[in-house]
């Protein structure tokens, strides 16, 4: 702090500190505290607020545990988001390895450009693209029927469609951290392992993946968090049988009219994501500072 004053003088330092304070206190901390406050209070008509019924309790959160449908959707969102992260990892790993260790400089810059372009396009449009492809009378069903792979069109909308579109949407968040991590691995280490007789499988599981652990953990954390918090893919590509936790939250706010329960559900989602982030980083022994790069 003294360093800041010494560097920019009292006037500028005060401006900087106030801006940061307004951001952290007014835009990050205060909204979250108010959300917690809402989550712990019952939903009352305006006249009863502050009255005898108003008080803190865990009822809104316990409601989620007691409501069978909501609980099932919550649990499904967790494992489905983990599945999205896993599939994204499996899709990305070979590409990341190739880019970091095998590709020539020319191939690499083309590959990076090709991978980044789709991600400049917004998530709603990317989901719309999948909506069109997966339509019942859409191109995918037409191609598969013409090739004779399926007899009748398949209804892709639902879990399958949501998975395809989410993996598609989050590839970059998985690919770049893994690529960065593998890139710093010396080629000589891979060659040494091979000369010592390691199979390709062992080279990856014992040399490359341990080295790229931090990158893989980062990719997992981001993909999981984005998937669990996603609204657009399940809303456009889901079916009534594949509802997502964010849709339930949305309904509490704009259809159910119970903001307190909505806040409690949002709080549960937040705690879940933070827990996954912290546990994953602890397991992989990654510092938070390395994640946000």
Binding to another protein (CB under 8 A): which residues in 265-284?
266, 269-270, 273-274, 277
Out of 120, 197, 201, 285, point to the residue binding another protein (CB under 8 A). 120
Segment 31 to 90, residues that bind another protein, using CB under 8 A = 31-32, 34-35, 38
Distance CA 157, CA 160 (A): 7
84 vs 249, which CB is nearer to another protein? 249
Which one, of 242, 211, 205, 223, lies nearest residue 87 by Cα?
A: 223
Which of residues 130 and 181 has its CB atom nearest to another protein in the complex?
Answer: 130
Site for another protein in 200-229 (CB under 8 A): 221, 225-226, 228-229
How many residues belong to the site for another protein (CB under 8 A)? 84
CB 182 within 8 A of CB 147: no
Q: Which of 64, 83, 87, 95 binds another protein (CB under 8 A)?
A: 95
- Per the CB < 8 A criterion, the answer to whether 168 and 129 are in contact is no
Cβ 174 vs Cβ 222: under 8 Å: yes
Contact 173, 226 (CB under 8 A): yes
Which of 48, 75, 125, 283 touches another protein (CB under 8 A)? 125
Residue list 231-250, contact with another protein (CB under 8 A): 231-232, 235-236, 246, 249-250
Of the candidates 117, 147, 152, 196, which one interacts with another protein according to CB under 8 A?
117
Cα–Cα distance list, 2 to 17, 18, 19, 20 (Å): 12, 15, 17, 16
């Amino acid at each position: 702090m003294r360093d800041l004053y010494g560097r920019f003088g009292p006037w500028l330092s005060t401006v900087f500190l106030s801006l940061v304070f307004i951001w952290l206190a007014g835009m990050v901390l205060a909204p979250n505290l108010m959300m917690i406050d809402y989550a712990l209070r019952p939903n009352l008509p305006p006249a009863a607020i502050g009255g005898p019924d108003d008080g803190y309790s865990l009822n809104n959160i316990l409601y989620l545990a007691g409501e069978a449908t909501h609980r099932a959707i919550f649990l499904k969102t967790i494992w489905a988001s983990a599945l999205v992260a896993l599939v994204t990892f499996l899709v990305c790993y070979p590409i990341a390895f190739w880019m970091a260790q095998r590709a020539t400089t020319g191939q690499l810059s083309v590959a990076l450009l090709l991978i980044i372009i789709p991600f400049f396009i917004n998530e709603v449009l990317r989901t719309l693209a999948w909506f069109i492809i997966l339509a019942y009378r859409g191109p995918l069903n037409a191609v598969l029927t013409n090739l004779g792979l399926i007899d009748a069109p398949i209804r892709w909308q639902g879990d399958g469609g949501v998975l395809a579109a989410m993996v598609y949407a989050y590839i970059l968040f998985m690919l770049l951290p893994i690529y960065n991590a593998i890139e710093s691995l010396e080629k000589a280490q891979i060659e040494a392992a091979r000369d010592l007789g390691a199979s390709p499988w062992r080279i990856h599981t014992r040399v490359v993946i341990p080295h790229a652990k931090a990158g893989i953990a980062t990719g997992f954390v981001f993909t999981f968090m984005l998937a669990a918090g996603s609204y657009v893919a399940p809303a456009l590509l889901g079916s009534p049988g594949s509802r997502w936790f964010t849709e339930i939250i949305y309904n509490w706010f704009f259809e159910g009219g119970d903001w307190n329960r909505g806040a409690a559900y949002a709080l549960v989602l937040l705690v879940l994501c933070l827990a996954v982030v912290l546990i994953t980083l602890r397991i992989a022994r990654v510092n938070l500072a390395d994640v946000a790069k």
